[in-house]
Amino acid sequence: MSDMDAKMMDPPAEGGDANPPPADAPKEDPPAENKPADEDKPKEDDKKEDDKKEDEKPKEDEKKPNEDENAGEGSNLLGGAVAAIPGAGLFADDAGSDATVEREKVPSKCCCCICGCSNETTEGSTCMGCFPIKCGMVVIGILLWVFTLYILVSSSFLVLNEYIRWWFPFVIVILMVPAIIGVCFFIGFFTKDCTRTRSNLTSAIIMNIVSIVLVTIWSICYYLWLYKNEIVYTGMGEDLTTYKQMTKKGYIFYLLADAAFLITLYAYFLCVVRKYVNLFPEESAFGKEGAPKSAPKETA
C-alpha cells in the first residue's frame, strides 16, 4: 500500500472530527449559557420602561374627568355672571327652554275665518273676545313696532322746525331707548316661541309704557318752560306760512290725550301678554338648570 492509502486508513485523533467543516461555513454563536449577563440587561430595562408607560396612562385618563369638571364649573360661573346683566336674556341660549317641544296645532275660529295659529296649550284662549290669543300676540308686537317707529320718525322731523331747538327731539330719541329694546324682545319672540323669549314679553310692554311716560313728561316740561312762544307752531321748513298754530294749553292737552290712549292700550296689551305667558308651564321638560331631567335611579 502506498503512503496515501495508509493515511486514509489511520483513525482520527482523539477529540477531532471525522469530517471537519469547510472553511467557508459560517461560524456558530456560542451557546446562551456562555453569553455574558450584561447583554440581557438592556432588554430588561426596556421591559421596565414599557411597564412604567402603561402604568402612567391610566393616571392621565384619571386626570381628564377632573379637568372637565373644573371647566364645567367655570362655565357655570360665567353663565351666572352673564345672566345677572340686565337684558342679557335677549342673547342667551335656549338651555332650560321648551323650544324643542312639538305641540299639536288646533284649528280655531278667527272672526269669520279659521286660523291655525292655536295649539293644544293655547286652545280656547282669545284676545279681544274673537281672536286667538297667539294671533293677538302677533298683532301686539306689530303695533308696538309701528308706534315706536312713528314716535322716532316724527321726533326726528322736529329738527326741521324753525321754532324748536335741535336738542328737544334728540332727548326724545334717548328716552325711546327702552321702547326700542322692548320691540327687540318681541322680534325675538317672533323668531322663536319658547320659554326664554316669552319671559321677556312682560318687560317689553313695561319698557314701552315707561318710554311713553318719559316722553310725555319731557314734552310738557319743554313747552311749558323752555318754549319761548305763546303759540305752538307745528310744521317744518323755512316757509313759516305753512306752519299750523295751536295754543300751549291746546297742544299740551293733545299730548296728554295721546299719552293716555297709548298707556291704556299698552295696559291691555300687558294683560294679554300675561295671560299668554301663564298658559305655559313655568318649568319645561328641560328643568330649571337647563339640563334634561333624568329619571330617578333604581336602587337595588
- Per-residue model confidence as pLDDT tens digits over 35-63: 454 555 555 556 666 666 555 554 544 54
* For residue 164, pLDDT beyond 70: yes
pLDDT score at 188: 94
pLDDT score at 208: 98
pLDDT score at 126: 79
pLDDT score at 133: 86
- Per-residue model confidence as pLDDT tens digits over 276-299: 999 887 654 444 444 444 444 444
pLDDT score at 48: 61
Burial letters for 238-253: b for 16+ Cβ neighbours within 10 Å, e otherwise? eeeeebeeeeeeebbe
Is-above-0.75 flag for pTM?
Answer: no
- pLDDT tier at 224 (50, 70, 90 boundaries)? very high
Q: What are phi and psi of 109, to 5 degrees?
A: -80, 135
- pLDDT tier at 97 (50, 70, 90 boundaries)? low
3-class DSSP assignment, residue 180: helix
What are the residue boundaries of the structural domains of the chain, listed by start?
Answer: 137-278
Which is more confidently placed, 55 or 258?
Answer: 258
How far apart are alpha carbons 31 and 54 in whole angstroms? 34
* Sign of the torsion formed by the C-alpha atoms of 71, 74, 80 and 85: negative
For the chain, how are helix, strand and coil distributed in percent, rounded to 5? 60, 10, 35
Please state the rounded mean pLDDT for residues 79-89: 43
- pLDDT tier at 131 (50, 70, 90 boundaries)? confident
* For residue 145, pLDDT beyond 70: yes
pLDDT score at 122: 75
Strands (E), the chain: 105-110, 113-119, 126-127, 131-132, 231-234, 244-247
* For residue 91, pLDDT beyond 70: no
- pLDDT tier at 29 (50, 70, 90 boundaries)? low
